[in-house]
């Protein structure tokens, strides 16, 4: 039987803990008890963990042997802020697929009221990513920094392959510009619901980003994010 996986809030040597609402969910919803075993993502590794203590807002584990974890490509998603319900859906599904980092940013055509409210959504996005990572048995949740502007988001990419998904691209499909496996670090930039502004596309061009398309149809932002992540992970053998 497959063991449920949890991402530890605290790790110290051979001890780990879930805290706060994270722990309460395990105790109240799943009715955890001392002696039960789960897979615990503890920093850089996943280990088998046995519950040794249950308190209000805290569940402690004794960490045992390491559990083998499959390697996945490093996919960084630059995601322009768009309607929050759809953005949450994209974050959840891209996390399940294996995105390593999700960098939200305010694009030229991001609605002003969404831009002003985006910072307050960061903690919620992180919780959604954590829950999705545990559900899909990932060793960790993708990092999600506070929203920035496009230039700030681009600074998150140090090296590797950089690809902007653009409706204006007519010739080149995403799979045509992906490297062969293992591929190293891949950055994918997804624009807002209104599309990229001309100056943003020029900035990508000047800074060495390849332009690619997801096909002849016009996709919603959340569909584009999910499709691009799925194609990249599949092509690179994740």
95 and 50 co-located in one domain: no
Which range of residues forms the domain containing residue 102?
74-235
Tens of pLDDT along 171-225? 899 999 998 766 578 999 999 988 999 999 999 999 999 999 998 888 999 999 9
pTM reported for the whole predicted model = 0.81
* Mean pLDDT, rounded, of the chain: 90
Check residue 215 and give left, alpha or beta (phi > 0: left; psi -120 to 50: alpha): left
- How sure is the predictor about 29, in pLDDT bands with cuts at 50, 70 and 90? confident
Residue 170: helix, strand or coil by DSSP? Answer: coil
Beta strands in 43-184 (DSSP E): 45-55, 58-66, 74-80, 101-106, 148-149, 161-165
Check residue 164 and give left, alpha or beta (phi > 0: left; psi -120 to 50: alpha): beta
Looking at 50, 66, 82, the residue that finishes a domain is 66
Supply the CATH number for residue 44's domain.
Answer: 2.40.240.20
Length of the chain: 238
Please give the Cα distance from 230 to 182 (Å, whole number): 15
Looking at 66, 90, 112, the residue that finishes a domain is 66
């Amino acid at each position: 039987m497959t063991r449920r996986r949890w991402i530890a809030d605290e790790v110290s040597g051979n001890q780990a803990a879930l805290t706060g609402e994270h722990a309460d969910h395990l105790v109240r919803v799943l009715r955890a008890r001392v002696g039960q075993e789960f897979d615990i993502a503890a920093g850089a590794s996943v280990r088998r963990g046995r519950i040794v203590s249950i308190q209000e807002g805290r569940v402690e584990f004794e960490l045992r042997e390491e559990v083998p974890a499959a390697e996945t490509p490093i996919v960084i998603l630059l995601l322009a802020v768009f309607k929050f319900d759809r953005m949450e859906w994209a974050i959840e599904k891209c996390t399940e697929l294996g995105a390593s980092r999700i960098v939200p940013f305010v694009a030229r055509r991001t609605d002003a009221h969404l831009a002003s409210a985006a910072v307050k959504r960061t903690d919620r996005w992180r919780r959604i990513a954590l829950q999705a990572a545990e559900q899909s048995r990932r060793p960790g949740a993708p990092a999600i920094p506070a929203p920035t502007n496009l230039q700030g988001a681009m600074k998150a990419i140090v090296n590797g392959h950089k690809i902007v998904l653009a409706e204006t691209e007519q010739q080149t499909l995403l799979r045509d510009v992906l490297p062969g496996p293992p591929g190293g670090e891949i950055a994918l930039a997804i624009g807002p619901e209104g599309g990229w502004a001309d100056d943003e596309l020029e900035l990508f061009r000047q800074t060495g980003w390849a332009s690619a398309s997801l096909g002849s149809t016009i996709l919603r932002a959340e569909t584009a994010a999910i499709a691009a992540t799925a194609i990249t992970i599949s092509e690179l053998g994740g």
